[in-house]
């Protein structure tokens, strides 16, 4: 194992900086590009759990991502400390590039949610459902009902009809925002290893975990293959640092979602404890007291004179401190114990695996959130508003996807006013996204037949609309829908 094969300074295109920089400096450059990107800034107004939240103390996608970044740094430093103590750094090619290792993990943590649409997973399902119901009809109208190619039926349509935030994240940072990050940084942000048109594998498949969701769209498939080649990653395998980012995300959000539920008075102190004990008992089958021992210790240290809500907050703080420390140690130990499989990207499970007390503890926190928080009116009512706004906006822009290609070209090249509605809709799309569409269409080469070229153009047009809608913040979706509908 040689980490200098994986942690490199290569980029999709040459950097504008003239001098030669070492790999640590290249990862510092990644850091600057990521932190200053519009994609990260938009996270401050995107849903973590509670849509359209006005309480600044409740987590947004940005504050959640910052917590994941810190946890990822904690895990990375723990791993490097253990490798230093066992004198393995030099042998693994990590000596002198420890900062690069940490930088890559931190920035992948900060980027891990940039592809999430407005209203989170609910927004993903809404966009997917609308396309599943309408994409073929709109394509038929634009193509004058000519028979679509096999490329469209087998690849392009399935690719459009399963919107996935992880895949959209890669598209944003590379194809839309054009951050020109190093191949290592891009690879560190890719949790899954299949495109949407490949079916989800059976649970018994050797790649079942790595392929449970799409990790990239057809538009980024060539990029992914380049990354695999540049970093010596076997096809369908992960980059090693992805496992750290994933563990950091799992650790951060499980506890945070319950803390926010207490802050919003969805769960009381007594209900929180009762539900945690109930679910832990079910999952552990009363064979372990791992989580309940931590809870009891946190309760003993919680000040009794505090108000009930303050007691709940202090209880969570103490539970979090103990649990995070233990989960980080466990994730770091698993990384090293499974080092060869992690390095090669063949480990087909998370670092915090299903056979451990630590995994059961995380699952308990998740299950309590799903059962007793996610079904609350505080979450579901704003999501219904979000559904109306998202579907309403998609329908507003539908004429662009039903327009014949020749007429769209007249709007693009000559600003034709014959199709006055479509012209105005086209003008509202961001210039950067329109440029990405035009570049993609220009690059359709003669290896495709006439029908495939027609289908590809429409696919890139649909992707353009998805890019625009999915990139909006929660509040902007609602405001834009109200503005265009006159409500």
CA distance 268 to 407: 59
Binned at pLDDT 50, 70 and 90, residue 206 comes out as confident
pLDDT the model gives residue 197: 95
CA distance 181 to 108: 11
Percent of the chain surpassing pLDDT 90: 70
Catalytic residue among 325, 424, 427, 428: 424
Binned at pLDDT 50, 70 and 90, residue 17 comes out as low
- With tokens 């990521």, the residue in question is 34
Please report which helix (H) or strand (E) contains residue 152, including its range: none
pLDDT exceeds cutoff 70 at 442 = yes
pLDDT digit string (tens) for 170-197?
A: 999 999 999 999 999 999 999 999 999 9
pLDDT the model gives residue 382: 82
Torsion over CA: 455, 434, 484, 48 (sign): positive
Catalytic residue among 59, 113, 194, 238: 113
pLDDT exceeds cutoff 70 at 55 = no
pLDDT exceeds cutoff 70 at 386 = yes
Residue 473: count of CB within 10 angstroms of its CB: 20
Catalytic residue among 249, 250, 263, 474: 249
Q: Could you say which DSSP state residue 47 is in?
A: B
pLDDT digit string (tens) for 62-99?
A: 989 999 999 999 999 999 999 999 999 999 999 999 99
pLDDT exceeds cutoff 90 at 146 = no
pLDDT the model gives residue 305: 66
Cβ-in-10-Å burial (0-12, 13-18, 19+) of 429 comes to: middle
Tokens of 148: 């679509």
pLDDT the model gives residue 375: 79
Catalytic residue among 33, 42, 61, 112: 112
Q: Identify whether 305 is a catalytic site residue.
A: no
pLDDT the model gives residue 183: 97
CA distances from residue 267 to 261, 281, 312, 372, 474 in whole angstroms, order as listed: 6, 19, 9, 8, 25
Which among 326, 103, 359, 119 is positioned nearest to 250, based on CA atoms? 359
Catalytic residue among 11, 33, 64, 463: 64
What mean pLDDT do residues 28-33 have? 95
Q: Are the CB atoms for 350 and 247 separated by under 8 Å?
A: yes
Which residues touch 275 (CB under 8 Å, ≥6 apart)? Answer: 267, 368, 371, 372
Q: Identify whether 200 is a catalytic site residue.
A: no
Q: Could you say which DSSP state residue 352 is in?
A: S
Cα angle at 358 between 283 and 279, to 5 degrees? Answer: 25
pLDDT the model gives residue 307: 72
What is the DSSP code string of 318-342? HHHHHHHHHHHHHHHHHHHHTHHHH
What mean pLDDT do residues 116-143 have? 94
Least confident range from 44-53, 174-183, 451-460: namely: 44-53
CA distance 214 to 385: 27
CA 183 distance to own-chain centroid: 18
Cβ-in-10-Å burial (0-12, 13-18, 19+) of 337 comes to: exposed
CA distances from residue 90 to 57, 97, 238, 239, 244 in whole angstroms, order as listed: 44, 10, 23, 20, 21
pLDDT the model gives residue 354: 78
The pLDDT mean for the chain works out to 91
Residue 437: count of CB within 10 angstroms of its CB: 20
pLDDT the model gives residue 385: 86
Cross-strand partners of 60: 47
Collapsing DSSP to helix, strand or coil, 116 comes out as coil
Tokens of 449: 């037949």
pTM: 0.92
pLDDT exceeds cutoff 70 at 227 = yes
Q: Identify whether 339 is a catalytic site residue.
A: no
pLDDT the model gives residue 253: 82
Q: Are the CB atoms for 126 and 434 separated by under 8 Å?
A: no
Percent of the chain surpassing pLDDT 70: 96
Cross-strand partners of 11: 182
Collapsing DSSP to helix, strand or coil, 60 comes out as strand
pLDDT digit string (tens) for 258-271?
A: 888 888 888 888 88
pLDDT the model gives residue 142: 93
Q: Identify whether 424 is a catalytic site residue.
A: yes
Q: Identify whether 64 is a catalytic site residue.
A: yes
């Amino acid at each position: 194992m040689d980490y200098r094969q994986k942690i490199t300074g290569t980029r999709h295109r040459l950097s504008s900086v003239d001098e030669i920089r070492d790999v640590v400096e290249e990862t510092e450059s990644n850091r600057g590009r990521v932190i200053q990107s519009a994609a990260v800034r938009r996270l401050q107004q995107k849903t973590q759990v509670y849509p359209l939240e006005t309480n600044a103390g409740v987590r947004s996608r940005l504050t959640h991502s910052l917590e994941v970044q810190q946890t990822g740094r904690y895990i990375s430093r723990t791993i490097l400390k253990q490798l230093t103590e066992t004198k393995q750094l030099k042998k693994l090619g990590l000596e002198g590039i420890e900062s690069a290792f940490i930088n890559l993990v931190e920035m992948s943590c900060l980027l891990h949610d940039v592809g999430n649409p407005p209203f989170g997973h609910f927004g993903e399902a809404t966009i997917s459902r609308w396309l599943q119901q309408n994409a073929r009809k709109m394509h038929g109208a634009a193509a004058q009902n000519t028979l679509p190619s096999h490329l469209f039926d087998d690849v392009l349509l399935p690719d459009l009809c399963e919107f996935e935030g992880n895949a959209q994240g890669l598209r944003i940072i590379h194809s839309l925002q054009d951050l020109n990050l190093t191949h290592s940084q891009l690879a560190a942000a890719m949790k899954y290893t299949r495109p949407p048109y490949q079916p989800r594998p059976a649970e018994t498949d050797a790649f079942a975990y790595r392929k449970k969701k799409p990790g990239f769209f057809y538009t980024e498939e060539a990029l992914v293959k380049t990354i695999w080649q540049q970093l010596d990653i076997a096809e369908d395998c992960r980059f090693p640092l992805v496992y750290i980012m994933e563990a950091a995300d799992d650790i951060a959000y499980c506890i945070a979602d319950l803390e926010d539920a207490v802050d919003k008075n969805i769960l009381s102190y007594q209900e929180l404890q009762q539900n945690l004990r109930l679910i832990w008992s079910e999952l552990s089958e009363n064979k372990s007291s791992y989580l309940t021992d931590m809870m009891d210790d946190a309760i003993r240290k919680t000040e009794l004179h505090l108000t009930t809500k303050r007691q709940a907050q202090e209880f969570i703080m103490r539970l979090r401190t103990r649990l995070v420390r233990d989960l980080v140690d466990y994730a770091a130990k698993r990384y090293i114990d499974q080092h060869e499989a992690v390095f090669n990207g063949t480990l087909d499970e998370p670092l915090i695996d299903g056979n451990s007390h630590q995994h059961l503890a995380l699952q308990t926190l998740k299950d309590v959130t799903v059962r007793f928080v996610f079904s609350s009116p505080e979450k579901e009512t704003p999501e219904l508003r979000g559904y109306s706004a998202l579907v309403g906006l998609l329908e507003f822009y539908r004429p662009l996807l039903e327009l014949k290609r020749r007429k769209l070209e007249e709007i693009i090249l000559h600003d034709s006013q014959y199709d006055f509605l479509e012209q105005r809709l086209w003008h509202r799309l961001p210039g950067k996204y329109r440029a990405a569409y035009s570049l993609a269409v220009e690059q359709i080469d003669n290896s495709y037949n006439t029908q495939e070229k027609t289908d590809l153009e429409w696919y890139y047009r649909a992707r353009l609309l998805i890019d625009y809608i999915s990139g909006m913040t929660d509040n902007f979706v609602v405001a834009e829908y109200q503005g265009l509908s006159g409500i």
